[in-house]
Amino acid sequence: MRKLSQQFGVSISTVVQAQRLLEDEGRIEARPRSGYYVRTQPWPVPELPALSRPAKRPTPVTGQELVLSLAQATNEADFVQLGAAVPHSSFLPTRAIQRSLSSMARKYGNELSTYQFPPGNPELRRQIARRMAEAGCRTHPDEIVITSGCQEALSLCLQTIAKPGDVIAIESPAFYGLLQAIEVLGMKALEIPTDPQTGISLAALSLALEKWPVTACALVPNFSNPLGCTMPDEAKQALVGLLAQHDIPLIEDDIYGDLGFDNTRPHAVSAFSDKASVLYCSSFSKSLSPGLRIGWVIPGKYREKIVYRKYVSSLATSTLPQYAIADFLKHGGYDRYLRQVRRAYQRQVSMMIRAVGKYFPQETRVTQPRGGFVIWIELPDKVDSLQLCQRALEQRISIAPGPIFSATRKYCNFIRLNCAQPWNDALESAMIALGRMAHELMTPN
């Protein structure tokens, strides 16, 4: 590295960055305790999956209980955790959060044992309002309601604007937590074709809105889960217009919005709307700590109803985590942390895509997200992802099988992998094992 730095007249850190870039592109490879070597043949980068083609009618959601058993696998320490979209603790600012927790516990001793009733901690709401500017939204702290994670925010929004039997238009494939909320509330999901790069098809959504009595639309417009796609600004604007035409509210889930690889924070759809008809939901589960369970909703004209429902559903969100996250946002260097973790996730995603190209069957396709940390993989038709999941669990590897991302249990040959796990020998062995199992399932005996 010193030699390269002298030869090109650049700093060592520039050399390191250049090597990482070349490694990400598959042009060089690292050999343990030996250095970087030029690769004779770069790994093939798999193609993208095609635009999804879900069932064209509203469907009640059933059978999502499988997801709980997969989530429980994340509590097993010896599993390679590629199933739930939970970042490994080494990617999270755990020490800084611990400092905020202890300093707030010392400072607010007595207050911590009382409820912090909805809408929630004022300082936390001030800090979130300040950060909403990054997503292009002017927000007053009083517009924000603190929730126990984004999942509670989504569920409160659905309960508030729709009733059992109502139809909710969603992306396909969709985040399974949303499908579960629709399931337990007795609503129906209408899955809309979605492009793995640009998100929901507005043409298909427009046709669906003409045909079906849709009550609300619920989307993840930035770095969605599982596709990782982001709607371009023009599409976000057009979506707002389309929904206004039909007088349909949007539940916007922006949980991955802060995790874009190119350091520019994409706009929220809310930035293009009059706010009244968008219920914006998010949390710090992907960026700071899933365990602290701090999320929020900006419910627009539904604020009073949401505040009351939040109170009825869980009285209040835990007090200490609200103080701690407020303190971290104020003093903890959140932006500095984001700059570093965005790079780390970009690298993880690229290593995992490379491993798919290297170890999985040749016809495998995979998404190329520009943010977040999940990839969506289309395996050859013959591979049953539920069987793959079962075999992987026997080898202490958790993965998320495709059917849990659809109300009609489509995507039988798809899986989603969580890339926020440190790249090491165990992870590489798990990818080799998954590739081998996929090959075996292609030729059942």
Q: Which residue ranges make up the site for ligand PLP (CB under 6 A)?
A: 85, 149-151, 175, 177, 220, 225, 253, 255, 283, 285, 290, 295
Q: At what angle do helices 12-24 and 334-359 cross, to 10 degrees?
A: 40
CA gap 169, 161 in Å, rounded: 13
When the beta carbons of 52 and 283 are compared against ligand PLP, the nearer one is 283
Rounding to the nearest 10 degrees, give the CA dihedral for residues 410, 378, 49, 52: 0
Instruction: Identify which of residues 178 and 366 has a Cβ nearer to ligand PLP in the complex.
Output: 178
User: Token match 């429980």: residue?
Assistant: 72
Residue placing its CB nearer to ligand PLP in the complex, 209 or 288: 288
CA–CA distances in Å: residue 178 to residues 70, 158, 230: 16, 9, 18
From CA 260, how far away is CA 108, in angstroms rounded? 35
> Quick check: 379 and 415 in contact, CB under 8 A?
yes
Nearer to ligand PLP, 168 or 438 (CB): 168
Query: Which residue is it, tokens 């039988």?
Result: 412
**Minimum distance between the CB of residue 200 and ligand PLP, rounded to whole angstroms?**
14
**Could you tell me the smallest distance in angstroms from the CB atom of residue 229 to ligand PLP?**
12
Locate tokens 């929004």: which residue? 157
* Alpha helices, H only, 247-333: 303-314, 319-331
Instruction: Give, for 60, the enclosing helix (H) or strand (E).
Output: strand 59-60
**CA 280/CA 282 separation, integer angstroms:** 7
Nearer to ligand PLP, 403 or 435 (CB): 403
By beta-carbon proximity to ligand PLP, the closer residue of 71 and 112 is 71
Provide, rounded to whole angstroms, the least separation between the CB of residue 414 and ligand PLP.
Answer: 16
Residue 295 CB, nearest approach to ligand PLP (Å): 5
> Taking CB positions, which residue lies at the least distance from ligand PLP?
149
The least CB distance from residue 178 to ligand PLP, in Å, is 7
CB of 381 to ligand PLP, least distance (A): 27
Q: Return all residues near 199 (Cβ < 8 A) that are at least 6 apart.
A: 171, 219, 221, 224, 227, 229, 230, 231, 235
Comparison of 85 and 129: residue with beta carbon closer to ligand PLP: 85
Closest to ligand PLP by CB, 413 vs 418, is 418
Cβ atoms of 113 and 320 within 8 Å: the answer is: no
Q: How far is the CB of 163 from ligand PLP (least distance, A)?
A: 22
Nearer to ligand PLP, 239 or 259 (CB): 259
The nearest distance, CB 317 to ligand PLP, in angstroms, is 11
How far apart are alpha carbons 276 and 255 in whole angstroms?
A: 20
Beta strands per DSSP E along 120-273: 145-147, 167-172, 188-195, 199-200, 214-219, 250-253
Site of tokens 């009825």: 312
Contact between 257 and 135 (Cβ < 8 Å) = yes
Smallest distance, ligand PLP to C-beta of residue 266, A: 15
